[in-house]
Structure 1
Amino acid sequence: MSHDPSAQVVALGDALLDLTRGTLIRGGRFVPLRSKSFRVLCELARKSGRVVTKEELFDAVWPGITVTEDSLTQAVRDIRRSLGDDGQRLLRTVARRGFILCPDSPADPAPPPYAPPTEPRPRIAVLPLIDRTGDPHWAPLVEGLAEEVTNGLARFRNLTVVARHSAFAAAREGWPLAEIGRRLHARYVVDGTARLSDGHVRLTLALNDPASGEVLWGDSFDAGETGWRGLRDLAPQRIVARLFTSVEEAGYRSSLRQGTHDLTAFEHLAHGKALFRRFEPGVNERALRHFAAAIAADPSLGVAQSYHALADLALHDYALAPLAVKQRAKDRAMQGVEISPDESRCRSILGYCHAQLAEFDAAEREASRAMELNPCDADAVFGLAIVLVWRGDSETALAWIDRAKDMNPLWPAYYDTLHSEALLFAGRYEDAARAFRRLPHLSAAQEMRLAATLALAGDLDPARHHAARARAAKPDWDFVGKAREALANRAGRDLDHLVRGIELALALVDDP
Structure 2
Amino acid sequence: MLRFSGFELDRQRAELRGADGVAIKLRPKTITMLILFATRSGRVLSKQELMDAVWPNVHVGDDSLFQCIRELRTALGDDRRQIIKLVQGRGYLFDAEVTQMPVAPASATVQHDPDQPSTPALPTPPVRRIGRRAVWALAAAAVLVMGLALVTAMVAPGLVTGRGPITLAVMPITAAESDLAAMARDVTTRLGDGLAKIDNVHVATPQVAAQDARTIKADFVVSGELLKRDGAWELRARMTRTATGNIVWTVPVSLAIDDSDVLLQQSRLAAGVGHPLALRINALLHAEQKPASDQSTSGSAGVVIEQAMASITQTSQERFAASQTMLDKALTDDPGNVDLAIALAALQLRGVQMVWYSAADSAAAERKARAILERGLKLKPDYLPVLEAYCRFLNATNEFVESLVACARTLSFDPWNGVALYHIGLTQLQLGRFEEALVMFKQADRFDTPRVSRWTWQLGAGMSYLFMGRAEDALPWLQSSIAITPASGRPYMLLSAAYQQLGRHDEAKAAMDKALALRPGSNLNNIAPPPKNANTAFLAALGTIGRANVAAGLPER
**TM-score between both structures, scaled by the size of structure 1:** 0.51
What CA distance in whole angstroms lies between the structure 1 residues aligned with 2:399 and 2:334?
30
Contact 1:349 1:383 in 2 (8 A): no
What CA distance in whole angstroms lies between the structure 2 residues aligned with 1:392 and 1:502?
17
Is 1:312 the counterpart of 2:348? The answer is yes
1:60 pairs with 137, 143, 155, which one?
Answer: 155
What CA distance in whole angstroms lies between the structure 1 residues aligned with 2:382 and 2:510?
48
2:252 pairs with 207, 213, 217, which one?
Answer: 217
1:384-403 equivalences in 2 (<5 Å): 384-403=424-443
Cross-structure match for 1:239: 273
Is 1:466 the counterpart of 2:473? The answer is no
1:38-53 equivalences in 2 (<5 Å): none
Contact 2:198 2:415 in 1 (8 A): no
Cross-structure match for 2:458: 416
Query: Relative to 1, partners in 2 of residues 1:272 and 1:407: Cα closer, same or farther, differing over 3 Å?
Result: farther
**Secondary structure, counterpart of 2:236 in structure 1:** strand
Contact 1:357 1:489 in 2 (8 A): no
Query: Relative to 1, partners in 2 of residues 1:313 and 1:493: Cα closer, same or farther, differing over 3 Å?
Result: same
Question: Which segment drifts farther, 233-242 or 455-464?
Answer: 233-242
Letter in structure 2 aligned against 1:274: A
* Superimposed CA distance per residue, residues 158-197 of structure 1 (whole angstroms, 9 cap, x where no aligned partner): xxxxx999xx99x99xxxxxxxxxxx9x9xx97533699x
1:275 pairs with 299, 308, 311, which one?
Answer: 311
Is 1:334 the counterpart of 2:374? The answer is yes
Query: Relative to 1, partners in 2 of residues 1:306 and 1:164: Cα closer, same or farther, differing over 3 Å?
Result: farther
Shift of residue 374, structure 1, vs aligned partner: 2.5
What CA distance in whole angstroms lies between the structure 2 residues aligned with 1:143 and 1:456?
42
Shift of residue 312, structure 1, vs aligned partner: 0.9
Is 1:450 the counterpart of 2:495? The answer is yes
Shift of residue 349, structure 1, vs aligned partner: 2.7
Q: How many residues align?
A: 350
Cross-structure match for 2:535: 491
Is 1:378 the counterpart of 2:418? The answer is yes
What CA distance in whole angstroms lies between the structure 1 residues aligned with 2:513 and 2:266?
51
Shift of residue 219, structure 1, vs aligned partner: 3.6
Letter in structure 2 aligned against 1:60: V
**Secondary structure, counterpart of 1:205 in structure 2:** strand
Contact 2:191 2:271 in 1 (8 A): no
**TM-score between both structures, scaled by the size of structure 2:** 0.48
Contact 2:190 2:267 in 1 (8 A): no
**Secondary structure, counterpart of 1:342 in structure 2:** coil
Cross-structure match for 2:225: 193
What CA distance in whole angstroms lies between the structure 2 residues aligned with 1:62 and 1:446?
53
Runs of 5+ consecutive residues of structure 2 not aligned to the other structure? 1-150, 160-167, 214-218, 241-245, 282-296
Contact 1:204 1:218 in 2 (8 A): yes
What CA distance in whole angstroms lies between the structure 2 residues aligned with 1:408 and 1:358?
26
1:476-487 equivalences in 2 (<5 Å): 476-477=521-522, 479-487=523-531
1:32-431 equivalences in 2 (<5 Å): 60=155, 129-130=173-174, 148=192, 192-193=224-225, 205-206=235-236, 217-219=252-254, 237-241=271-275, 263-278=299-314, 282-285=318-321, 287-288=323-324, 302=338, 304-317=340-353, 322-408=362-448, 410-412=451-453, 413-431=455-473
**Secondary structure, counterpart of 1:206 in structure 2:** strand
Contact 1:480 1:499 in 2 (8 A): no
**Secondary structure, counterpart of 1:316 in structure 2:** helix
Query: Relative to 1, partners in 2 of residues 1:408 and 1:156: Cα closer, same or farther, differing over 3 Å?
Result: farther
What is the percent sequence identity of the aligned residues? 16
What CA distance in whole angstroms lies between the structure 1 residues aligned with 2:326 and 2:169?
27
Contact 1:149 1:239 in 2 (8 A): no
* Superimposed CA distance per residue, residues 346-393 of structure 1 (whole angstroms, 9 cap, x where no aligned partner): 223323322333322211121222222332333333332232123222
**Secondary structure, counterpart of 1:373 in structure 2:** coil
Letter in structure 2 aligned against 1:449: L
Letter in structure 1 aligned against 2:155: A
Shift of residue 400, structure 1, vs aligned partner: 1.2
Query: Relative to 1, partners in 2 of residues 1:145 and 1:265: Cα closer, same or farther, differing over 3 Å?
Result: farther
What CA distance in whole angstroms lies between the structure 1 residues aligned with 2:340 and 2:517?
37
Shift of residue 470, structure 1, vs aligned partner: 4.2
Contact 1:204 1:219 in 2 (8 A): yes
- The CA RMSD measured in Å over matched residues stands at 5.7
**Secondary structure, counterpart of 2:224 in structure 1:** strand
What CA distance in whole angstroms lies between the structure 2 residues aligned with 1:143 and 1:451?
40
Shift of residue 143, structure 1, vs aligned partner: 13
Cross-structure match for 1:89: none
Query: Relative to 1, partners in 2 of residues 1:467 and 1:368: Cα closer, same or farther, differing over 3 Å?
Result: same
What CA distance in whole angstroms lies between the structure 2 residues aligned with 1:273 and 1:480?
30
What CA distance in whole angstroms lies between the structure 2 residues aligned with 1:474 and 1:287?
21
